[in-house]
Amino acid sequence: LERSPLRRLVELVARPGLLSLAGGLPAPELLPAEAHADAAAAVLRQDPRALQYGPPHRPLAAAIVRLLARRGVVADPSSILITTGAQQAIDIACRLLVEPGAAVITERAVYGGIRQSLAVVRPSLSVVGTDLEDGMDVDALARLLEGGVRPSLLYAISDGHNPCGVELSPDKRHRLVELSRQYGFVIVEDDAYGLLSYGAPFAPPLLALAPERVIYIGSLSKILAPSLRVGWMVLPACLYQAAMRIKEAIDLETSALNQRVAARLLAEPQLEAHLTLLRRSYAERLAAMLSALAIHFPERARYTRPRGGMFVWVELPPGYGDTWALLERAIAEENVAFAPERCFAMATPSGRALRLSFSTASPAEIEDGVARLGRLLAGSTRQQ
């Protein structure tokens, strides 16, 4: 099991003074520290079960049902399994569905946490590409299936794609679900960014189209705070009990206190106000990044124009070398960091892509950071 590149990024980001466009972190100044302290104090004063072992906190499941309604999903509280963050949900899904050697399909570039969880169960992995306009290459998926690949699990990120910042088109959503029915595979849909849309809301996730074929994964890490360590799975009834038993074997239960604090932080109308603040702030940063890219990046660079999430994906034209080496130079020469393609690569990477995060830097810093990277890239071609 390799060291997680995501973790190496987190350590990089911790270096003081570095202008980081690398991490998938929420903006620190938008974390609800005061509301959290108030909620924790109230819970500890009023609820004697907050520090104890106990069953899942029902008001949290009810709050998650309301979050899902915002995504256009009607879910029953009994289908929701509360997990210790979304990573644990991914790990449970892998343990639940994948025997050693079983086929698994992902996109070529996805959130690195799935790689870590899959490494433990050692599947036979196939990858498909991601179209920067409309998401996962469903034609390539259909060819794999026609060619005889029978996956136990297909991993999909429909909205606010990490790392690509792309949305799966409505047409592809329908085709993907049809394929899952035709070939009988389960879709693990990672929707950590689904509520972070900056214009019209995202289309409903795959879960809304095929609840019987989808294990949906949600998280509070991006809309409230990572250190809550609260995520969830929405599971088809036939998989629920088995998933719950795996969850219990992993860590017994998710913190009773954190569950109670989370339920309070998800109460209206505070939640609506908080989401509005996040969306307005991130929308500004996204706009700053896209305009800086247009000005400072090579004309032949291709990049996504997300409507949500935290990331822009950039594919550099040939001639700039591997983006991991470029990262090392960016840190050394320009004191700026991004996330190279290799952090997300489920198969041999092109080496030419990178992820820019617009979540933690101010618009001015984003403009400055993208300009520094543009300068580095301009210098790179001159040297060749």
Which residue ranges make up the site for a second copy (CB under 8 A)? 1-4, 6-7, 10-11, 14, 23, 25-26, 28, 31-34, 36-37, 40-41, 44-45, 48-55, 84-85, 87-88, 91, 95, 113, 116-117, 119-120, 221, 225-229, 241-242, 245-246, 248-252, 254-258
CB of 115 to a second copy, least distance (A): 9
Using CB atoms within 10 A of its CB, is residue 252 exposed (0-12), middle (13-18) or buried (19+)? exposed
What's the closest the beta carbon of residue 179 comes to a second copy, in angstroms? 28
- In whole angstroms, the minimum distance from the beta carbon of 220 to a second copy comes to 11
Find the shortest distance in angstroms from Cβ 91 to a second copy.
5
CB nearer to a second copy: pick between 166 and 220 = 220
Token pair of 77 as six digits: 């509280």
CB of 30 to a second copy, least distance (A): 10
By beta-carbon proximity to a second copy, the closer residue of 193 and 297 is 193
Closest to a second copy by CB, 36 or 71: 36
The HSE-up count of residue 102 (CA atoms within 13 Å, CB side) is 18
Task: Using CB atoms within 10 Å of the CB of residue 376, give its burial: 0 to 12 exposed, 13 to 18 middle, 19+ buried.
Answer: middle
The sign one gets for the Cα dihedral 63, 67, 72, 77 is: negative
Residue whose C-alpha is closest to residue 339's, from 89, 4, 90: 4
Residue 287 CB neighbours (<10 A): 14
Sign of CA dihedral 158, 27, 10, 263: negative
C-beta of 252 vs 364, nearer to a second copy = 252
- Specify the residue, 49 or 280, whose C-beta has the smaller distance to a second copy: 49
With respect to a second copy, which residue has the nearer C-beta, 80 or 144?
80
Give the other-Cβ count within 10 Å of 74's Cβ: 11
Minimum distance from residue 39 beta carbon to a second copy (Å): 10
Give strand ranges (E) for the chain: 19-20, 80-83, 103-107, 124-128, 130-131, 135-136, 151-156, 186-190, 214-219, 231-234, 302-303, 311-315, 336-337, 339-340, 353-357
Q: Which is nearer to a second copy, 94 or 141 (CB)?
A: 94
Q: What are phi and psi of 162, to 5 degrees?
A: -105, 115
Query: What six digits make up the tokens of 313?
Result: 């994906």
d(CA 178, CA 8): 38
In terms of DSSP bridges, do strands 231-234 and 214-219 run parallel, antiparallel, or are they unpaired? antiparallel
Q: Report the residue number, 82 or 326, with the smaller CB distance to a second copy.
A: 82
Smallest gap from Cβ 52 to a second copy, in A, equals: 6
Look at residue 336 and give its three-state secondary structure: strand
Judged by beta carbon, residue 126 or residue 360, the one nearer a second copy is 360
CA–CA–CA angle 170, 176, 177 (5° rounding): 95
Nearer to a second copy (CB atom), residue 257 or residue 263: 257
Look at the block and give the residue holding tokens 């108030």: 38
Q: Least CB distance from residue 54 to a second copy, whole Å?
A: 7
- Alpha-carbon distance 316 to 120, whole Å? 33
Distance of closest approach, residue 367 Cβ to a second copy, in angstroms: 24
Provide the minimum distance between the beta carbon of 53 and a second copy in the complex, in angstroms, as a whole number.
5
The structure tokens listed for 360 are: 């933690």
